[in-house]
Amino acid sequence: MQEEYNPDIMTLTDEDGKEHVFEVLDAIDFEGTRYMAVVPYADGSAEQLEEDANLIIMRVGEEDGEEYVDIVDDDEEFYEVGEVFSKRLQEWFDVEE
């Protein structure tokens, strides 16, 4: 019997008020900061599922008691955290580097 897959979906609103929907693949704590590995959410349509999804790494922070997420755009930080996610995700999924 195949286990039903229920993705962890997250909707974020950007500065322009546009909503973006992501599937959270993994989350880790690395050097005192929480990070999430996400991909744009594919609702199951054949066209979206055929495309390769680009992994996005987001940093979780807190300001004035409110949680927020930022895309990691610092190359060194992205590389270090990306390596951790890469190793973890390769164990779970068929990931090509």
pLDDT of residue 47: 46
Q: Is residue 1 part of a domain?
A: no
Q: Is residue 45 part of a domain?
A: yes
What is the biggest distance separating any 2 CA atoms in the chain, rounded to whole angstroms?
A: 47
Q: Is residue 3 part of a domain?
A: no
User: What is the tally of helices (H) and strands (E) in the chain?
Assistant: 2, 5
Q: Which candidate, 38, 33, 40, places its Cα nearest to that of 67?
A: 33
Q: pLDDT, tens digit, for every residue of 86-95?
A: 888 777 766 5
**How many domains, in total, are found in the chain?**
1
Q: Is residue 2 part of a domain?
A: no
Strands (E), the chain: 8-13, 19-30, 33-40, 56-63, 66-71
Which residues form the domain of 43? Answer: 8-92
Signed CA dihedral, 73, 74, 79, 85: sign only:
negative
pLDDT of residue 7: 77
Q: Is the pLDDT of residue 82 over 60?
A: yes
Q: pLDDT, tens digit, for every residue of 49-63?
A: 445 568 899 999 999
Residue scoring higher pLDDT (12 or 4): 12
